[in-house]
Amino acid sequence: MSAKRRQKKLRKKRRSRNGFLEIVNALLTLVVLGLLVAGGILFFATQRYYADGPMNEDTVFLVEKGIGLGAVANRLEAANLISDRWIFQFGAMLQRKQASIRAGEYMIAARSSMADIMREITEGKAISYSVTIPEGLTSWEAVQRINAAPNLVGEITEIPPEGSLLPDTYSYERGSERQAIIDRMQAAFEAKVDEIWATRAPDLPLESPREMVILASIVEKETGIGSERAGVAAVFINRLNIGMRLQSDPTIIYGITNGRGPLGRGLRRSEIDEKTPYNTYQIDGLPPTPITNPGVAAMQAVVNPADIEALFFVADGSGGHAFANTYAEHQRNVARWRAIERERAAAAAEAAKAEELARDEAEAEAARDALQEEQAESAGANGQ
């Protein structure tokens, strides 16, 4: 090969090698530029993700069940809680939190960053509401209250058995099922009944936890005063021990209303005389079911009643009851109560009469004023 040809071939190799190096250099430059750009974007996005948010006041934000990250981001941006939904989603994915979003209502503090909001809806505690079921409500009444409670979903279509719900205040989050509240009440009641029954005094005339609940429901309806429950329970326990009928008006009322609201009037003699499963003036022992949902205190009173021999009690005029060991003593207490009732009725009648008199006087005064004004106008005596 001639020198000329060798030089030409050498130059060609050099050009090829130089071209390859130029391509490699160009690619490396692009990679570096890409990394710089990506780093800049990441730095910018991170800064925005952790920066204070645009909302200047605390805001309640609802995360609905089944909603995804994209929809949450869109709603947050629409509510002006975040400035960029894409950065929010990017940050969530970098933190691997997109699958950790929990349904519920959340209080988003003013100026919360996107990171703060993501932490709140994945780790924070949702806003809770509550419904209170007081002692002494029947199951029907408890269902009415739960059905009327706001921010719950679903309807309770079947009334739970009487004496199966534990009265208490129950917390829940928006969107919770109403039936779930009932389920919690029943589970709590079963646990509490077992716990209380285990603490019962010996030799009680009660065969089972169910009988304890039935008697506690009567005690619950007979008195709302905590200090009296053990005394009222003792009266009924004493009666059961000697085979005396319970003679409780609330049981008759339950047999009439089936627990669907108050009777709204006094008992009639015919209702007291009628023999029904719930008329404890006419039947021996306990009625077939509870007549309400008793609270813990009423059940505790039944399993550990007061150590008294009383067989009777009647209202004493102060909101409580007067207890008696004998019927003769009870009759004296009844007489005192009836005298108080008569005095109150007389006072109420006197007050009503005074109110009517005051109303008549006011009407007469208004009539006089109207006539005087009319006559003054006619006589031209209305000068200022």
The CATH architecture of the domain made up of 59-123 is 2-Layer Sandwich (3.30)
Residue 40 has pLDDT above 60, yes or no: no
Per the model's pLDDT, the better-predicted residue between 363 and 343 turns out to be 343
Residue 358 has pLDDT above 90, yes or no: no
Q: Are 202 and 237 in contact (CB under 8 A)?
A: no
How does residue 381 score in pLDDT terms, banded at 50, 70 and 90?
A: low
Per the model's pLDDT, the better-predicted residue between 50 and 350 turns out to be 50
Question: Per DSSP, what are the bridge partners of residue 313?
Answer: 323
Tens of pLDDT, residue by residue over 74-100, are 999 999 999 999 999 988 998 899 889
Average pLDDT over residues 366-381: 69
Provide the CA 151 distance to its chain's centre, in angstroms. Answer: 10
Q: Are 276 and 172 in contact (CB under 8 A)?
A: no
How does residue 374 score in pLDDT terms, banded at 50, 70 and 90?
A: confident
Residue 106 host element (H or E): strand 104-108
Average pLDDT over residues 353-371: 75
pTM for the full predicted model? 0.76
Amino acid (one-letter) located at 197: W
pLDDT score, position 27: 63
Q: Are 55 and 111 in contact (CB under 8 A)?
A: yes
d(CA 211, CA 302): 10
Give domain limits for the chain: 59-123, 128-192, 207-337
